[in-house]
Amino acid sequence: MLPSGRVDQPPKIDCIETLPIPNVPDRLKIMSESPAAIRETALPLPLVARGKVRDVYETPNGLLIVATDRLSAFDVVFDDPIPLKGEVLTRLSVWWFEQTRGLVGNHLVSDHPEVDLGLLQKFPELRGRCILGRRAEVLPVECVVRGYLEGSAWVQYRDSGLVCGVPLPPGLRRRQRLDHPIFTPTTKAAAGHDLPMTFAEVVEVIGLEAAEFVRKTSVDLYRFAHDLLLPKGIVLSDTKFEFGRVGDEIILVDEILTPDSSRFWEADTYVDGADARSFDKQYVRDYVESIGWDKRPPAPRLPREVIQGTTRRYTEILELIAGIKIVNREEDVS
């Protein structure tokens, strides 16, 4: 820890080259095709699943994964979608999949399947929010890595001194940077809340070899991203990865290092034990906790300023990380 209380940079991981985002002609300004928020899709393809955020369809060449603007917090889906959210999640995941392919394979086949499948003429709102992914058998474990003591990890530590069975030194403060990142997996619940798991429980579920692979790979991914983001003025507090099997290979699936799956803090505002400006769902979490919501369905309605503030944070982190600016086509972009 630097004397100021801000974070220093972790050791670099060698042999990982940062790469430009593919298939994006103008990385500085991308016009949104649809100014309206997209809560649900209805495409002329077989629907495989409708998750908390994504709608998944079957195609001959893989799974068409559409990121809607649905918002989930505390494992509850809200009625109010967040405009542009799905585009941010997709474009940022594609960028990170390219950056991290030297560490682990992923399910990305195409970042413009809506064009390849001829869907844009009838469904222009799909632009920028779709990927084509390889079919994989998803491992039933959420692979969370934490470099800082925040969220449910802080609650576990405060109550027991442990986080997912990992003992931590006494006297740590909330949001304090840990000596090294820790792997804190959870269950992958089809409904309700995900629950903390010990590493031994992960081994029971997916086997020792797979458990060791996802633990090491998750920590390597966290270290790489943390190191890349600090020079951009961003602290990566914690993040979640999901993995799947394709034959004998274990690959990354779903999303990666987005404001839905990560906590991002503005480095200039970060100090141990104090609030920092966030670029993620924490803004919504703070609001619903402030009004006394019990974190059970139904979710409360969100005021306009919270919806707009969330869109602003999501689009801002995309621009800070990847240099991609998404703007509403009805806004002044001069």
Tens of pLDDT, residues 189-206: 766 678 899 999 999 999
pLDDT (0 to 100) of residue 329? 44
Asked whether residue 251 is domain-assigned, the answer is yes
- Residue 2: pLDDT above 60? no
Q: Alpha helix (H) ranges present in the chain?
A: 85-99, 113-116, 152-160, 199-206, 208-229, 282-290, 304-322
Specify if 201 maps to a domain.
yes
**The predicted structure's pLDDT at residue 189:** 72
The reply to whether 93 and 168 lie within a common domain is: no
- Both 202 and 107 in one domain: the answer is no
326, 318 in Cβ contact below 8 A? yes
For residue range 62-72, list pLDDT tens digits in order: 999 999 999 99
117-154 pLDDT, tens digit per residue, is 999 999 999 999 999 999 999 999 999 999 999 999 99
User: Contact 18/8 with Cβ under 8 angstroms?
Assistant: no
Domain assignment of residue 14, yes or no: no
In a domain, 11, yes or no: no
Beta strands 162-163 and 166-167 are antiparallel
Residue 84 sits in the same domain as residue 126: yes
Query: What total of structural domains would you count in the chain?
Result: 2
- CB-based contact 147:236 (threshold 8 Å): yes
CA–CA separation, 75 vs 78, rounded Å?
10
pLDDT in tens, 10-37: 333 232 333 333 343 343 445 454 558 9
- Same domain, yes or no, for 67 and 89? yes
Residue 218 shares a structural domain with residue 193: yes
- State residue 142's pLDDT score: 97
Q: What share of the chain is helix, strand, coil (3-state, %, to 5)?
A: 30, 25, 45
Q: What global pTM score does this model have?
A: 0.88
pLDDT digits (tens, 9 = 90+) for 148-184: 999 999 999 999 999 998 999 999 999 999 999 999 9
pLDDT band for 188, please (50, 70, 90 cuts): confident
DSSP bridge pairs for 240: 144
Closest by CA to 164, choosing from 154, 156, 173, is: 156
| CATH number of domain containing 246 | 3.30.470.20
| Residue 150 sits in the same domain as residue 263 | yes
Flag whether 191 is in a domain.
yes
CATH of the domain at 80: 3.30.200.20
Q: Do 191 and 302 belong to one domain?
A: no
Q: Any idea of the CA torsion for 155, 161, 167, 170, to the nearest 10 degrees?
A: 120
CB within 8 A of 9, min separation 6: which ones?
A: 227, 230, 231
213 Cβ contact partners less than 8 Å away, ≥ 6 residues apart: 250
What pLDDT score does 328 carry?
A: 56
pLDDT in tens, 249-306: 999 999 999 999 999 999 999 988 788 999 999 999 999 999 999 999 999 999 999 9
Residues 200 and 223 in one domain: yes
Structural domain boundaries enclosing 97: 30-136+293-328
Whether pLDDT at 330 is above 50: no
Is position 170 within any domain?
A: yes
Q: Do 113 and 179 reside in the same domain of the chain?
A: no
pLDDT at 272: 84
Domain for residue 150, yes or no? yes
Instruction: Say whether both 216 and 113 belong to one domain.
Output: no
Same domain (yes/no): 39, 91: yes
Both 126 and 155 in one domain: the answer is no
Rounded-to-integer distance, Cα 32 and Cα 284, Å = 23
Tell me the pairing of strands 130-133 and 137-138: unpaired
User: What is the model's pLDDT at position 274?
Assistant: 81
State the CB neighbour count (10 A cutoff) for residue 297. 11
Amino acid of residue 85: K
Whether residue 22 lies inside any domain: the answer is: no
